[in-house]
Each structure stands twice: as C-alpha cells, then as structure tokens.
C-alpha cells in the first residue's frame, strides 16, 4: 500500500525537509503541497490523501482552521507540525495526537511515520483519530481558564512541570525561567505572556522580572523605599518593587494600608 501524502507548511524550507525525509521512506508518495491554509483545504479536498503533514502556525486560516474547514468526518490522518506553544502541545498530549515539534530530527520524524503507518487504512483507528481531533478542537475553542502545567520540550522528550510546583518565575530575555524546589526550566515565552495564562490569585507579578507563587511565600519583610523582600519556602529571596507594591498587597485581602506591612 502506498500512503498518499500532502505537505502543508508556509515555509518552503520546512516542506523541502519533510519531502526529503519522505524520499528515504518506502511506501509514501507526496501527491501535493500547499503553502497556506486556503490552498491546503482545496488540495486535501481534491486529492483525498491518506496522510497530511499540517503546520499549525500559518497565515489565515492556520492549521486548526484547515481542520475545521475540512470537518472531522472528511479528515485524513494528520501529523501536526508546530513550534512550541503551551496550549497547543498540551492539547496534543492530552488527546494523544501525533505532532512534530520544530525543529525535529529524522528519528522523531520516523517515529511519527511508524505510528501513522499502523493506523492508516484501519477504519476503527481512523474513527478514533477523528474523535480525538474533534475533542481537541472543542478544548481549544473553549480552553480552561488558567495554565495548570508547563510543557518543557527537549530534542528527545517533553517534561511536564505542574504550575503548583513552581515557586517563582524569572524573566530571561524572550524566555522565562521556571524555578521549583530543585529544578530550573526555560520556557520559550516572555514573562508577560505567561502572566496572562496563570491564575492571578496564585501567581502575582511582583517585579518587572519576577512572578511569585503566593503559596510559596514563607515570610514578608519591609525594605527600603516601600519595597518588600519575600522569602520563599526554599529560602530564595525575591524583591517586590514599588511599581508592583499595591498589586501585591491587594492579593492579601486588600491590606494596602496595613502598617504592619
């Protein structure tokens, strides 16, 4: 059986990489390529491929828009390709869907192909795949209110870190460093982006460079010029700057004028 394959990505280099990897794999034939979402919908509808490599981050519509336009009943098997995004990766993991995290290597590519080869052509497996895609799309349209765990990618695996285990988060340029009791992890998202996704009753911005888990605070000490020093349960100390003082105090029942603080 030859698995008829379509490659969808807005970057020509990314399409070329997948095409070259596929040349080394017997039983796969590339029947079409698309560089944007609207072309992808037409090509997939016309060619009726068995397998699609589908990039998520594309001009309108993006990869999820392509899935919605095709409809779950007409979906071929899809291996999603994406750069790192917290919600996206979490959705794939929860619903056990194949994905390639860019930049991916040949071994990871072959692993995804092996899994696809096992299920393509099996009616029950395809029905199960479409159900999982439909459930994922529902989750993405109505996401949970706040981030419950972080997904930390590496070339060989993805580590999971519970948000509740993070004591504080530190700005690191366009990245952010998560600090737990014993470990530090870098996530590919700025501090401002993470702040919007975390429960504001638990994670509070206390400085332009720091977000703190209030459950991890051991004590609070007044400091110079209206600042505070927070000592966390592992002994680490974080400064509450004057610019974030009022926001921090309001998290403690609005006691902004408490003279003990």
pLDDT reading at 35 higher than 60: yes
pLDDT for the residue 260? 43
Co-location of 125 and 179 in the same domain: no
Pair 27, 2: CB distance under 8 Å: yes
Mean pLDDT to the nearest integer, 49-66: 89
78: left (phi over 0), alpha (psi -120 to 50) or beta: beta
pLDDT for the residue 193? 85
pLDDT reading at 228 higher than 80: yes
pLDDT bracket for residue 215 (50, 70, 90) = very high
Residue 33, domain member (yes or no): yes
Pairing of strands 51-55, 77-82: parallel
Co-location of 184 and 110 in the same domain: no
Co-location of 12 and 114 in the same domain: yes
Co-location of 94 and 154 in the same domain: no
pLDDT for the residue 248? 87
Co-location of 89 and 181 in the same domain: no
Residue 258, domain member (yes or no): no
pLDDT in tens, 138-155: 877 666 678 887 877 666
Pair 49, 5: CB distance under 8 Å: yes
Co-location of 33 and 127 in the same domain: yes
pLDDT in tens, 72-125: 777 899 999 988 666 577 778 778 888 998 889 999 999 999 999 998 988 898
Co-location of 103 and 136 in the same domain: yes
Residue 261, domain member (yes or no): no
pLDDT bracket for residue 158 (50, 70, 90) = low
Co-location of 47 and 77 in the same domain: yes
Co-location of 121 and 156 in the same domain: no
Residue 233, domain member (yes or no): yes
Taken in order 101, 17, 129, 111, is the CA torsion positive or negative? negative
Mean pLDDT to the nearest integer, 125-144: 82
**Of 119-133, 168-182, 246-260, the least confident:** 246-260
Co-location of 229 and 159 in the same domain: yes
pLDDT reading at 32 higher than 80: yes
Domain containing residue 14: CATH number = 3.40.50.2300
pLDDT reading at 201 higher than 70: yes
pLDDT for the residue 157? 62
Co-location of 201 and 81 in the same domain: no
pLDDT for the residue 140? 73
Q: In 10 A of CB 219, how many CB atoms?
A: 9
Supply 18's token pair.
């997948």
Concatenated DSSP letters for 29-71? EEEEEESSHHHHHHHHHHH--SEEEEESS-SSS-HHHHHHHH-
Give the gyration radius of the chain's Cα atoms. Answer: 23
pLDDT reading at 231 higher than 50: yes
Q: Please state, rounded to an integer, the average pLDDT across all residues of the chain.
A: 87
Mean pLDDT to the nearest integer, 3-21: 95
Residue 260, domain member (yes or no): no
The rounded percent of the chain whose pLDDT value lies above 70 is: 91
Q: Interior CA angle at 9 toward 40 and 88, to 5°?
A: 100
pLDDT bracket for residue 217 (50, 70, 90) = very high
Report the predicted TM-score, pTM, of the whole model to 2 decimal places.
0.62
Give the distance between the most distant pair of CA atoms in the chain: 77
Which residues are paired to 175 by β-bridges?
172
Domain containing residue 168: CATH number = 2.40.50.1020
Provide the domain limits for residue 79.
Answer: 3-141
Co-location of 10 and 60 in the same domain: yes
Residue 255, domain member (yes or no): no
Taken in order 16, 19, 20, 21, is the CA torsion positive or negative? positive
Number of structural domains (the chain) is 2
């Amino acid at each position: 059986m030859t698995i008829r394959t379509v490659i969808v990505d807005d970057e020509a280099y990314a399409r070329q990489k997948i095409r070259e990897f596929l040349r080394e794999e017997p039983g796969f034939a590339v029947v079409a390529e698309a560089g944007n979402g609207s072309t992808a919908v037409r090509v997939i509808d016309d060619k009726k491929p068995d397998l699609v490599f589908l990039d998520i981050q594309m001009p309108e519509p993006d990869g999820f828009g392509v899935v919605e336009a095709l409809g779950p009943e007409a979906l071929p098997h899809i291996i999603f390709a994406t750069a790192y995004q917290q919600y996206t990766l979490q959705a794939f993991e929860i619903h056990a869907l194949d994905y390639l995290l860019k930049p991916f290597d040949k071994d990871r590519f072959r692993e995804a192909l092996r899994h696809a080869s096992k299920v393509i052509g099996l009616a029950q497996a395809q029905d199960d795949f479409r159900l999982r895609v439909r459930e994922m799309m529902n989750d993405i349209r109505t996401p949970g209110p706040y981030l419950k765990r972080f997904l930390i990618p590496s070339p060989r695996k993805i580590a999971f870190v519970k948000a509740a285990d993070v004591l504080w988060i530190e700005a690191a340029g366009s990245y952010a460093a998560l600090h737990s009791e014993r470990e530090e992890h870098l996530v590919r998202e700025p501090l401002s982006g993470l702040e919007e996704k975390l429960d504001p009753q638990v994670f509070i911005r206390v400085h332009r460079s720091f977000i703190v888990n209030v459950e991890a605070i051991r004590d609070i000490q007044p400091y110079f010029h209206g600042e505070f020093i927070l000592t966390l349960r592992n002994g680490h100390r974080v400064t509450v700057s004057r610019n974030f003082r009022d926001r921090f105090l309001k998290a403690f029942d609005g006691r902004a004028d408490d003279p003990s603080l």
